[in-house]
């Protein structure tokens, strides 16, 4: 049994316009299926507007699909009872692109990272403090950073705080929605490396949503490419992606080669 199974998901948003408020529906996901195994990272690639973030929201239980199923640990997320859903939800976390808007600026690092622990665990003050120290250390920060506020961290450090919060409950799957896209190249490399390490040490699985083919290939075990709400390519590894004959995939790959004209590979 796969950790996550997305079965034939279709979703649309109600389009609105100035004259006709409840307009026609716009289909943004069309019969999408994919799966993620325990301990694996699936890279979800595609151009802007392909439906990647919408699929991420559907998987996180934030956007009920019109049709199809999200099976997480074998349970249909949208058909199960509220208590099972809450139990499953702790195993399903997310890190988003904008590290600053993902946190409350009035909370310090300890409060931000401790939020899921307060919601789901009954820890003594000492256990809570120890957990925060361990989480800060697992993302390469120091326990002394616990009292700092978001504005006192760099973008890369704050994204580490977001990652620490996401791993606090030892989840099974993390949806990383453009989680490294707003970081500079150096921080991007460091955070990708950290995510890879955490995946191994905690047995985590990721859905890594990105438009960055290089980043996707560096972290992912398998890759899916979407266009206009449909899956247009599924690859077991990057060599299959390179061999794809689909024009959109070729364009995605060409964009890397034109960025790095001397590079003949995506490594
Ligand atoms: N809440 C919403 N209401 C209406 N339309 C939406 C909503 N969210 C997204 N859309 C539309 O759905 C389509 C898919 O958007 P989505 O954000 O899922 O794509 P994406 O592949 O993640 O794009 P990007 O890489 O630019 O973030 C787009 O046309 C977008 O305008």
Domains of the chain, each with CATH number or no CATH:
1-14+25-91+172-261 (3.40.50.300), 105-170 (no CATH)
Asked whether the CA dihedral 163, 199, 187, 132 is positive or negative, the reply is positive
Q: By three-state DSSP, how is residue 199 classified?
A: helix
Percentage, residues of the chain above pLDDT 70: 93
Give the number of the atom of ligand 1 that is nearest the alpha carbon of residue 13.
4
Is the complex ipTM more than 0.85?
Answer: yes
**Among 22, 28, 228, 248, residue to substitute to test ligand 1 (most atoms within 8 Å of Cβ):** 28
Q: What is the pLDDT of residue 237?
A: 87
Q: Compute the distance from residue 55 Cα to the ligand 1 centre, in Å.
A: 10
Taken as a whole, the chain contains a residue count of 267
Interatomic CA distance for residues 18 and 165, integer angstroms: 41
Rounded CA Rg of the chain: 19
Question: Mean pLDDT of all residues in the chain?
Answer: 92
Joined tokens for residue 265:
């590979």
Q: What is the pLDDT of residue 90?
A: 93
Interatomic CA distance for residues 222 and 1, integer angstroms: 17
pLDDT, one tens digit per residue, over 163-172 is: 999 999 999 9
DSSP conformation class of 236: S
Q: Compute the distance from residue 108 Cα to the ligand 1 centre, in Å.
A: 32
The string over 85-109, giving b where at least 16 C-beta atoms fall within 10 Å of a residue's C-beta and e elsewhere, is: beebbbbbbbbbbbbeebbeeeebb
The candidate with the shortest Cα–Cα distance to 136, out of 163, 154, 170, is: 163
Give the number of the atom of ligand 1 that is nearest the alpha carbon of residue 226.
21
Give the number of the atom of ligand 1 that is nearest the alpha carbon of residue 177.
22
Q: Compute the distance from residue 217 Cα to the ligand 1 centre, in Å.
A: 23
Q: What average pLDDT score do residues 192-211 get?
A: 95
Interatomic CA distance for residues 91 and 39, integer angstroms: 13
Q: Is the confidence at residue 75, as pLDDT, over 90?
A: yes
Joined tokens for residue 143:
């326990």
pLDDT, one tens digit per residue, over 106-146 is: 999 999 999 999 999 989 999 999 999 999 999 999 999 99
Q: Compute the distance from residue 199 Cα to the ligand 1 centre, in Å.
A: 28
The model's confidence at residue 20, banded by pLDDT at 50, 70 and 90, is low
Which residues form the pocket of ligand 1, taking CB atoms under 6 Å from any ligand atom?
13, 28, 46, 48-54, 211
Give the number of the atom of ligand 1 that is nearest the alpha carbon of residue 46.
21
Interatomic CA distance for residues 39 and 172, integer angstroms: 8
């Amino acid at each position: 049994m796969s950790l996550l199974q997305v079965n034939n998901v279709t979703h649309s948003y109600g389009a609105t316009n100035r004259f006709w408020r409840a307009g026609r529906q716009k289909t943004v996901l069309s019969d999408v299926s994919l799966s993620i195994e325990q301990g694996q990272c699936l890279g979800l690639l595609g151009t802007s507007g392909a439906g990647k973030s919408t699929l991420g929201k559907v998987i996180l239980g934030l956007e009920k699909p019109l049709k199809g199923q999200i099976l997480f640990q074998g349970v249909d997320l949208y058909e199960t009872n509220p208590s099972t859903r809450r139990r499953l939800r702790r195993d399903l976390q997310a890190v988003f692109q904008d590290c600053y808007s993902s946190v409350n600026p009035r909370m310090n690092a300890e409060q931000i990272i401790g939020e899921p622990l307060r919601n789901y665990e009954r820890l003594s003050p000492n256990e809570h403090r120890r957990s925060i120290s361990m989480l800060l250390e697992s993302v390469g920060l120091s326990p002394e950073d616990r009292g700092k506020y978001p504005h006192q961290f760099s973008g890369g450090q704050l994204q580490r705080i977001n990652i620490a919060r996401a791993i606090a409950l030892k989840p099974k799957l993390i949806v990383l929605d453009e989680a490294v896209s707003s970081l500079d190249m150096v921080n991007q490399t460091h955070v990708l490396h950290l995510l890879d390490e955490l995946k191994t040490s905690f047995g985590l699985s990721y859905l890594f949503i990105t438009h960055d083919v290089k980043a996707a290939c560096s972290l992912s075990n398998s890759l899916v490419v979407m266009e206009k709400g449909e899956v247009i390519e599924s690859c077991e590894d990057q060599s299959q992606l390179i061999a794809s004959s689909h024009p959109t995939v070729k364009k995605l790959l060409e964009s890397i080669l034109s960025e790095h004209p001397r590079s003949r590979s995506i490594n």
